[in-house]
Every structure is written in structure tokens, then in C-alpha cells.
Amino acid sequence: MAENSSAGTAVGEPVTATDANGDELAYSFAAGSGEASFEIEGSTGRITVGSTANLDYESGDTESTVEVVASDGMLADTATVTITVTDADDPGRLRLDATVARVGARVTATLSDQDGSRNKRRRWQRSSDGGAAWTNISGATGRFYTPVASDEGTLLRAVFTYTDGHGPGRRAESAAVPVVGAATPVVSFGAETYSVAAGGSVDVTVVLSPSATETLAVDVTVGGSAEAETRRVKFGAGDSRRPRAVSAAGLAAGDTVAVTFGTLPAGVVADVPSEARVIVRETGADRRKKSRPAPLTVEYGEPSYTAQAGGAGAAVTVRLSPAADREVLVPVTFAGTGPGATASYLGVPGSVHFAHGDSVRTFTVEAPAEAPGGQVTLGFGELPGGVSAGALAASVVEPARTRTRRCSKNRWTWASRSWGARWPRARAGRSAAAWRLPCAAGVVRPESGRTARPA
């Protein structure tokens, strides 16, 4: 797919999976895979460009690999999807280092184009009618231009034509900026961003150019709308820089506070940066906590299970503690201890999928009637980071078979499975239908001598 694709753009065809039982499948990304640049529709498996994606071919980020999980709610499987990013013609951007140009103060134009730039032709232009018409400034063909007295009251911009990696004829224009007189006071902040520890304080610098010739007061606002606090910063004669303290009391790591100018005095204009941000930085403890996922423990619910050969399987439980705070895929292993046991047991998944909030998953292991015997031992494969095995890191599944007694001619056997007692003859007070000869084709009722169907 092309670089710079907008959010929501489909990436190839949807990922598809099938379920042997026809159960509905849900698709998601494995933990730590793909979320930064891509999103996936849970019901269809379609991958799209994420809202925060920055697919940039020139940065070398030309290939991304994501792990897609398909789950029926109990069992899951994964597939690796490789997404290739292709080159696109990036537009060039031309920027000036000022939003207000002052007579006598040099302005710099900078061109950036990710596809490269060469054979540049530079021009500076002015407009005296608010930008409706532009004229080239004689001799102004470099990266820099210093406005003169005749430029005061006009708009100024730069225009570059050049060749990039996709061919010639590229054009970039800067934003238009007003030109003010040499003595016009211009205020700005000393930097675009400042950092501060939680609970601390930092001084944001307010810059005045040229230096004040008399006392000048400028309002500076910290914070947004309802929580905004405005204070006045005063410049004395000769001052060009003054601090404005910003407190981070009550703020947490990652919080951001905006610092802006209030209503400026008449004749004073603001230049870039006209807004600053104070960012509450993370401490070492914050970073360590963030880098380590919450520890989880996985184990089987019981040390052993019994699967009826040819009948009901064993419902094996896997528990995660505490409940998953992220997507967790637990690999399952199994090995037989009897001849052919590993191959004869069915239903052991390759992995068990825990979605966010899950703590218990169950799968059924079946032992076919023709199984040669033996038992299997379930275990865990290589566990993901932050997950460790608990006390029951292994569990045994063994077959349960119906016992068959040898025939003994002319001896009656009580048919109760819980009893299994054998009697030499029918006894009074017992139901005749409950007695049988083990080798007989039918059941003989002692009272009547009639033969009934085998039980």
C-alpha cells in the first residue's frame, strides 16, 4: 500500500480463517502487534490504516509485520501478515521562520521534500492587496530576505520551483506573513516546549523584540478554558526576556499544559512560537512501570482428567491469574506416555487465547474408542513476556474404559455396574430382569423360563 494513506484505508484483502465446528470467529491483533499503525475489524478480519498511523517510505519503514489472532472464544490460532509500504510523491513544504516579518529583520525560507530537491529556483514576493495579487521582489532570489521600509504594511511570501525524485516542475509556496515597522514590538516564547517533573515548576520565557524602550505589560495565560490562569509579565526599559512560572502541581506524567498570550496591547504583535507547551515528564519509576506488563500466572485447573474412550471427552480448564489486562496467547504442549497415545488423542489446541478480562478457558480432549491406550501429559510452551506457569504447570489426561468380565457358563451375574457381584442362581426378592447369564444370547427369567432381549 502507498505511504501516507489516510486512516481507514483498506490494506489488501481481509484475513480469513475457518472453524471445524462452524463457530463464529473474532479477529484481533496479538498483544503488541500492529496497534500503532493499523486496526482490524473484529468480525471480518479486514485490516485498515489506523488513525495515528504515519506510513513513511523515506524513513525506511517499508515493511510491517502484524500477528492476527482468530478465536472462537475458547481456542485461537495466529497468522503472520506482512504489509509492504510503497513510495508516493510527497508534496514539498516551504516554511518561513517567522509569522511576522519586521523591517530590518532577516527572514529565512526552508524547503523540505521527502523525495529530495535539486535545481531550485527561489523567489520572494510581496502583495499590497491582502494576497489577491503578488509581484516578485527585484533581486530577492535566495533563501533569506530582509524586508525594507517599502515592504511595511504588505504581505510577504517565498516561492520555490525545483526537481524532486519524481521529476521536475515541483512548486512550493510559503504561508504569507505581514510586514511590520522596525520599531514594532514583537513578542514570542523562548521555545515551543518545556518539560517539568510532576509537582515541580518551570519558567517559560517570554521574548520581546526589539528591547523595551519603556514599561510594557503582556498577559500570559496558562491552561485551558475553565482552568486557565492569566498573569501579567512586565518588561522594564531595556528588557527583552522575562520568565513566567508554570506549576505542575496535581499533574501526572504525560499531562500537557498550554501557555498562550492573552489580549496584546495596541501596537504589539506575536510571532512564532506564539504558543508553548509544558509537558510533565516521566520519572525513572514511571518508565520502569510502563515497560513491564503486569505479571500473570497460568496453570491448569486440575492435576489430571479422565476422557471416556469413544465417549465424552475431558473438559480441561486453563486458568489465568489475575484476569488478563491484555491479549494473551498461551501455547499448549502435549506428549504421550503409551504407544500411539499422542496421535490418538484429539482436541488438544496449539494455544489458548485469553482476551482482555478473561481468566478461564476450557477445551475438550477426546480419546477415540480404538485408542491403543496410554495417557497424555499437557504442558505449556514458551510463555509470553510477563506470564509465568503456576503450580499446576502440567496435567494428565488418561482414558477410562468399561471393564469386561470373562464368561462363566451357568453362572448368573447381577447387572448393576456399581455392584458387579456374581450369583450362582436367581434369588427371590430380586427383579428377574436384573439377572443374566454372561454367555447367553438372552436374559432368562427364572420364574417363567422365558427369554428376553439382552439388556
CATH number at residue 257: 2.60.40.2030
Clarify whether residues 301 and 387 are in a common domain.
Answer: yes
Does any domain span residue 150? yes
Report the distance separating Cα 328 and Cα 76, nearest Å. Answer: 11
Mark residue 43 as left, alpha or beta (left: phi above 0; alpha: psi -120 to 50; beta: remaining): alpha
Is the pLDDT at 138 greater than 90? The verdict is: yes
Does any domain span residue 340? yes
Name the grid cell of 356: 482482555
Among residues 40, 66, 88, which one ends one of the domains? 88
Clarify whether residues 116 and 171 are in a common domain.
Answer: yes
Name the grid cell of 188: 514570542
Q: pLDDT band for 437, please (50, 70, 90 cuts).
A: very low
**What is the structure's pLDDT at 238?**
94
Tell me the residue type at 62: T
Name the grid cell of 307: 476422557
Is the pLDDT at 209 greater than 60? The verdict is: yes
**What is the structure's pLDDT at 226?**
66
Query: Which residues in 2-20 are b (16+ Cβ under 10 Å) and which e?
Result: ebbbeeeeebeeebebeee
Is the pLDDT at 339 greater than 70? The verdict is: no
How many domains does the chain contain in total? 5
* Residue 8: CA count within 13 A, CB half-sphere: 0
Report the distance separating Cα 208 and Cα 235, nearest Å. Answer: 8
Please tell me the pTM assigned to this model.
0.49
% of the chain with per-residue pLDDT over 70: 81
Clarify whether residues 304 and 210 are in a common domain.
Answer: no
Does any domain span residue 291? no
Clarify whether residues 331 and 364 are in a common domain.
Answer: yes
Is the pLDDT at 86 greater than 50? The verdict is: yes
Place of cell 523540505: 112
Higher pLDDT, 226 or 187: 187
Clarify whether residues 15 and 77 are in a common domain.
Answer: yes
Higher pLDDT, 3 or 329: 329
% of the chain with per-residue pLDDT over 90: 46
CB-neighbour burial class of residue 46 (10 A; exposed 0-12, middle 13-18, buried 19+): middle
Clarify whether residues 416 and 440 are in a common domain.
Answer: yes
Report the distance separating Cα 303 and Cα 41, nearest Å. Answer: 38
Name the grid cell of 367: 480419546
Clarify whether residues 204 and 278 are in a common domain.
Answer: yes
- Complete DSSP assignment for 264-304: PPTT-EE-SS-EEEEEEEPPHHHHHHHHSPPPEEEEESSSE
Does any domain span residue 315? yes
Clarify whether residues 150 and 131 are in a common domain.
Answer: yes
Contacts of 418 (CB under 8 A, 6+ apart): none
Residue 233 in contact with residue 189, Cβ under 8 Å?
no
Report the distance separating Cα 384 and Cα 158, nearest Å. Answer: 55
Clarify whether residues 279 and 301 are in a common domain.
Answer: no
Mean pLDDT of the chain: 82
**What is the structure's pLDDT at 402?**
52
Does any domain span residue 105? yes
Among residues 150, 165, 180, which one ends one of the domains? 180
Higher pLDDT, 228 or 408: 228
Clarify whether residues 100 and 126 are in a common domain.
Answer: yes
Query: Which residues in 403-438 are b (16+ Cβ under 10 Å) and which e?
Result: eeeeeeeeebbbeeeeeeeeeeebeeeeebeebbbe
Clarify whether residues 164 and 204 are in a common domain.
Answer: no
Among residues 234, 268, 286, which one ends one of the domains? 286
Which residues span the domain enclosing 13? 1-88
The conformation of residue 371, written as its DSSP 8-state character, comes to: -
Clarify whether residues 395 and 300 are in a common domain.
Answer: yes
**What is the structure's pLDDT at 278?**
94
- Complete DSSP assignment for 5-31: PPTT-B-SSPP----TT----EEEEPT
- 245: how many CB neighbours lie within 10 A of its CB? 10
Collapsing DSSP states into helix, strand and coil, what is residue 365?
strand
Residue 251 in contact with residue 269, Cβ under 8 Å?
no
Name the grid cell of 261: 498570550
**What is the structure's pLDDT at 332?**
92
**What is the structure's pLDDT at 284?**
66
Average pLDDT over residues 148-169: 94
Residue 441 in contact with residue 454, Cβ under 8 Å?
yes
